Amino acid sequence: PEEKIKYFHSLVSLSVEVEDYEKALDCAKLWGELAPDDPEVRDMIAKLHLRTGGEDEALVEMEKMMEMSPDDYVTLETLAGMYTNRGDYDKAFNAYEKLYGKDANVFFLEKTIELGKRVNKSKSWIVGRLGKLQSMQPDNLAVIEELADLTASFKWVNKGLKQDRKNGKYPYMMGDHYFDKFKESSAPKDSVSALTWYRKAMKDPQWKNNANAMILTLDPPLTEEEKKRRAFFEGSKKKKEEVKQEGKK
């Protein structure tokens, strides 16, 4: 068997050299029958299946490799990508979680967040991971915006206001905050604050219509009847002032 393994190993290498991947796969399978527990031959068979369009077979081989070598992170990363592409999000999430545990880099962190949403991780879990991502990428405006959306926290809204001044989302969120306070308190100061922030949000064309709708909710335009009534009272007031001034003379 040892001699045969050497021959098959050489035949696989030569076939790959001349790009005869079908022949290389046949030889690798024969090699695999003689050494079923050898991760090297399983890896070779998996790669050759991918070369020849046998993704399902490659997946099976790589899963066997992981059973033999649970700490094979190179194979695990390939599997994680394949699971994602195939829509097997639970397996993909678990794979990227393990990769992130080994190497807490931005790419693996982003993948756990993306897949965590797909497998319905809790809001608090997603916020926690986004917080880690923001600490690694403090200027990532998309992360700040998502954190502001999820938490409605002044911490993230204020960060957004400082770092992305042209984005009407943050003044709009501030307007919503004071609008909610106004609904509870009916305090004029809350209404004024809400209007101030909504007017700032109107500078962003993307938020202009939303902000304008809220401004009209807080400060609706006068009806024709109200305009006439106001004009009447303002006219009466003006006449009284004129009479008063004449009396002084």
Q: How confident is the model at residue 31 (pLDDT cuts 50, 70, 90)?
A: confident
Over 90: is that where the pLDDT of 206 sits?
A: yes
Write the DSSP symbol of residue 187. -
What percent of the chain has pLDDT above 70? 88
Q: Residue 58: what pLDDT?
A: 92
What is the spatial distance between Cα 63 and Cα 55, in angstroms, rounded to a whole number? Answer: 12
Q: How far is CA 168 from CA 46, 110, 145, in A?
A: 51, 26, 11
Residue predicted with more confidence, 212 or 219: 212
Over 80: is that where the pLDDT of 76 sits?
A: yes
Q: Residue 244: what pLDDT?
A: 52
Beta strands in 58-214 (DSSP E): none
Q: Residue 228: what pLDDT?
A: 59
Q: How confident is the model at residue 247 (pLDDT cuts 50, 70, 90)?
A: low
Q: Residue 165: what pLDDT?
A: 87
* Average pLDDT estimate for 14-22: 89
Q: Report yes or no: 66 and 53 within 8 Å, Cβ to Cβ.
A: no
* Average pLDDT estimate for 224-236: 57
What DSSP string runs through 4-35?
Answer: HHHHHHHHHHHHHHTT-HHHHHHHHHHHHHH-
Write the DSSP symbol of residue 219. S
Q: Residue 243: what pLDDT?
A: 47
What is the spatial distance between Cα 13 and Cα 208, in angstroms, rounded to a whole number? Answer: 65
Q: Output Rg (C-alpha) for the chain, integer angstroms.
A: 34
* Average pLDDT estimate for 201-228: 82
* Average pLDDT estimate for 225-239: 56
Q: Report yes or no: 13 and 40 within 8 Å, Cβ to Cβ.
A: no
- Apex CA 66: angle with CA 30 and CA 95, to 5°? 140
Q: How confident is the model at residue 9 (pLDDT cuts 50, 70, 90)?
A: confident
Q: Residue 116: what pLDDT?
A: 97
